[in-house]
Amino acid sequence: MYTSISVEDLALRLAEGDRDLQLIDVREAQEIEIAYIEGFQVFSLGEAQQWSPHIGSRLNPKAETLVLCHHGVRSAQMCQWLSDQGFTNVKNISGGIDAYSLLVDPTVPRY
Nearest by Cα to 43 from 62, 67, 64, 63: 67
CB atoms under 10 Å from CB of 86, counted, come to 10
Verify whether residue 79 is a known catalytic residue.
no
The catalytically annotated residue of 69, 76, 82, 90 is 69
Number of residues that make up the chain: 111
What residues are annotated to the active site?
Answer: 69
